Amino acid sequence: MTSVAAPPVADHEVVHQLPDRLRCHVPRLRADEAYAARLLALAQRDGRVGDARVNRWAASVAVRWAAPFPAQDQAEARIGELLHDAQRASTPATPLSGSRFGDRFARLAVAGAVAGLAGLGRLLGLTVPGPLAAIAVLAASLPIARRAVHAVTVERRLNLDVLDMTAILLTTMRGSLLAPLSVIGLVEVGEAIRERTARASRRELLDLLDSIAETVWVERGAQRVRVAIDEVRRGDVVVVYPGDRIPVDGRVLEGRALIDEHQLTGEPMPVLHEEGEVVYASTLMRDGHLHIAVELVGGETRAGRIVQLMRDAPVHDTRIENYAGRLADRIVLPSFLLAGAVLIATRNPTRAASILITDFATGIRVSVPTAVLAAMTGAAQAGVVIRSGRALEQLARVDAVVFDKTGTITQGNPAVVGVESVTSGLSSDEVLAIAATADQRLSHPVAEAIVRYAAINGLSPGARDRWNYDIGLGVRAEIGGQEVLVGSDRLLASANVDLAPAQPSKEGESRIYVAADGRVCGVIAYADPIRREAQHVVGALRERYGMDIHLLTGDKSETAHAVGRRLGIDAANVHGELFPEDKAAVLRELRAEGRRVAFVGDGINDLPALAYADVSVSFGGATAVARETADVVLIEDSLHALPTAVGAARQAMRRVRQNIGIVGGVNLAALTVATASGLSPTTAAVVHNGSTVVAAVNGLRPLLRGDRRRRPADDDDRQEIRDG
């Protein structure tokens, strides 16, 4: 018996696996969009798959199983089958992006061609079978018919699709072709535009715990062994080294280390943790090493609770339905009643069909999304990505803006703000040169800031002899025969150096001291600087748009209030020392007060607040999950475009109201004439379509006159920010 080789599977590598999820690297995804689309379609139809995400640019597929497989090799085999099946060209694919424009209008093009042939045949004295043209028109209306049937049989209601389909049937049966084709064309154009302004309502969540290594070092008896992260249990002792992310919430048993917590807590500077202190999963160890007694693992950790908060956050409908959908559906029943009354009174189906055609619901459904799409396109040209019509609508209604501090209002990295010599023997440049020489090649962010500031001032680090870095305190070095200390006040105090000559630090600033041969000789002040444009942007939002401004941070309350005072934010609206769930609670309180809230943030610690805001705003350079969660993305790493986005949203809503007035006014006049004396279906279609075109052009004005322009991130703060 001849064995048959198994079909080849696309090259792939399992890069991360837990009982309930698996992530693979598949190089083919990056080069083959059709393959990626087929893989996603197959995964979404597979009963064993609970959720699937395909990232072409990262050549990655992530699968969360509906139920864990009994064995790891079974999960690997299943993903292999999916990858193999996706190689078959016959597998139907769901496009990863964009609308099926060609499919949507193919039947309409065929129907138009048949109708054109019918008209040409009549001019030439030829006969084109009427049923053939009618069948072509009805075939073009199938998508509308399906939606109408679903509304009546499943939703048990009359909607705009039912109204449109009735008008199409009546006019087609009366032998009219132009009128039903124009209605079909308008409806399909409107649906295509609505799809472009919609964003999938299901949030694509990046599991924060995926950033933690798959294996960790655990002490088992007298040995240190590497185990899978999902095998770690409460009571174990894990060991973490520089460059690792802490995998658990726990208490330090041994060691000391500098931990970068800014993405989780908002604290911009690395925090020194020693024996007895609590550390958190997903934070990054910059220096040192720790032995940690495990207290919480996986979803129980603070990072895990952030994931749960994200999943529990409300997910809003993404169609701009307040103006278009709801208003259009309200008009359906009155239109049917009026058409029925005219039919009973006149016994003329043509006049009844004309009334159904002159309804202004279809025009609203086309012109309103057109205005929204134009506003979204114009905002993108100005450096703002507004992801959906719903986001644009909500942004126009916002009356409170809540900013995260670290990385949003501030730059998120320490920077030197001043150097002072406290001895007559040295200049400030000499103090800076000594500090840069001592701090060279250290990975501490403050040391890097000092070396960077020295380079900006034309100073290069000199020769450094023996040196020793004490975690959390500073560096001791021998430079030019002198014993030099560069670090905190605790470092100098441990060497019995008198700090009296140094002046107290200013509000919002931290200090590094420089001492030589047992005497303090200089002070270097550093801070997390406020973004240069922040004050102007906050002022524009408050004064031009009447916004209530709030500031949230995980940083110290004193630092938060110092930043708030510089920006003119009321002290009652400044909140410090908040964990991520606390930020979300502030957002919920504001919304409970009736506020429409926009939240601006960029880090992991901002995710719950981003999810609970009416509109979430982030930067193009923010963490990947913050960008994905955000409704509005400022492409440049600058706040300059935020007032632009608000102005664009408010102007878009004004154009929406104008379009409703244009379509409603013209069609109401036509409806009056059709009711009183009658209009032919063709004339009704011309009036109806003409008003829709005028309204659509009005919605496109921002693009037609090209009044949007991108603003460089380094413009002077005082330059006027266009509001669209």
pLDDT confidence of residue 88: 61
pLDDT confidence of residue 555: 79
CB of 52 closer than 8 Å to CB of 62: yes
Per-residue confidence at 688, pLDDT binned at 50, 70, 90?
Answer: low
Neighbours of 338 (CB within 10 A): 17
* Domain residue spans of the chain: 13-85, 208-312, 377-410+531-646, 415-527
CB of 286 closer than 8 Å to CB of 244: no
CB of 39 closer than 8 Å to CB of 51: no
The pLDDT tens digits of the residues spanning 42-83 come to: 887 777 787 788 877 667 888 888 777 777 778 888 888 888
Which of 126, 166, 591, 200 has the alpha carbon at shortest distance from 343? 166
List 207, 329, 404, 439, catalytic entry: 404
Per-residue confidence at 723, pLDDT binned at 50, 70, 90?
Answer: very low
pLDDT confidence of residue 713: 35
Query: Measured between alpha carbons, how far is 145 from 158 in angstroms, rounded to an integer?
Result: 13
User: Starting from the edge strand earliest in sequence, which strands make up the sheet with 632-634, in order?
Assistant: 384-386, 632-634, 615-619, 597-600, 400-404, 548-552, 574-575
The encoded tokens of residue 54 equal 């395909």
pLDDT confidence of residue 326: 59
Average pLDDT, the chain: 76
3-state DSSP assignment of residue 625: helix
CB of 85 closer than 8 Å to CB of 41: no
pLDDT confidence of residue 638: 84
Q: Give percent above pLDDT 70 in the chain.
A: 75
Active site residue 582: no
Per-residue confidence at 33, pLDDT binned at 50, 70, 90?
Answer: confident
The CATH number given to 13-85 is 3.30.70
Query: Measured between alpha carbons, how far is 183 from 168 in angstroms, rounded to an integer?
Result: 7
Mean pLDDT, rounded, for 106-121: 54
Residue 16: partners with Cβ closer than 8 Å, 6 or more residues away: 22, 23, 210, 214
Query: Measured between alpha carbons, how far is 547 from 567 in angstroms, rounded to an integer?
Result: 14
CB of 670 closer than 8 Å to CB of 661: no
Mean pLDDT, rounded, for 602-625: 77
The encoded tokens of residue 443 equal 């990975």
Neighbours of 530 (CB within 10 A): 17
Residue 97: is its pLDDT beyond 70? Answer: no
Helix (H) or strand (E) holding 24: strand 21-25
pTM for the predicted model, two decimal places: 0.60
Looking at domain 377-410+531-646, what is its CATH homologous superfamily?
A: HAD superfamily/HAD-like (3.40.50.1000)
Residue 538: is its pLDDT beyond 80? Answer: yes
DSSP letters for 276-316: T-EE-TT-EEEEEEEEEEEEE-GGGSHHHHHHHHHHHS---
SS (H, E, C) 182-240: HHHHHHHHHHHHHHHHCCCCCCCCCCHHHHCCCEEEEEECCEEEEEEHHHCCCCCEEEE
CB of 313 closer than 8 Å to CB of 611: yes
Q: How far apart are the first and last CA of the chain?
A: 75
pLDDT confidence of residue 549: 95
pLDDT confidence of residue 632: 87
Residue with tokens 């921002």: 702
Dmax (CA) for the chain in angstroms is: 111
pLDDT confidence of residue 434: 93
Residue 245: is its pLDDT beyond 80? Answer: yes
Q: Give percent above pLDDT 90 in the chain.
A: 17
CATH class (in words) of the domain with range 208-312: mainly beta
Q: Which of 607-616, 646-655, 700-709 has the lowest mean pLDDT?
A: 700-709
CB of 464 closer than 8 Å to CB of 451: no
Residue 127: is its pLDDT beyond 60? Answer: no
Per-residue confidence at 403, pLDDT binned at 50, 70, 90?
Answer: very high
Residue 515: is its pLDDT beyond 80? Answer: yes
CATH class (in words) of the domain with range 415-527: alpha beta
Residue 106: partners with Cβ closer than 8 Å, 6 or more residues away: none
The pLDDT tens digits of the residues spanning 293-326 come to: 999 887 788 777 766 665 555 544 434 444 455 5
Mean pLDDT, rounded, for 621-639: 75
CB of 378 closer than 8 Å to CB of 708: yes
Helices (H) and strands (E) counted in the chain, each on its own, are 25, 24
Q: Which amino acid is at 393?
A: E
CB of 39 closer than 8 Å to CB of 82: yes
pLDDT confidence of residue 282: 80
Which of 225, 200, 246, 589 has the alpha carbon at shortest distance from 400? 589
- Region of 25 please: left (phi>0), alpha (psi -120 to 50) or beta: beta
3-state DSSP assignment of residue 97: coil
Mean pLDDT, rounded, for 232-260: 88
∠711-715-721 over CA atoms, to 5°?
Answer: 55
Per-residue confidence at 570, pLDDT binned at 50, 70, 90?
Answer: very high
* Phi, psi (rounded to 5 degrees) for 217: -85, 130
Which of 520, 465, 517 has the alpha carbon at shortest distance from 489? 520
* Phi, psi (rounded to 5 degrees) for 259: -115, 125
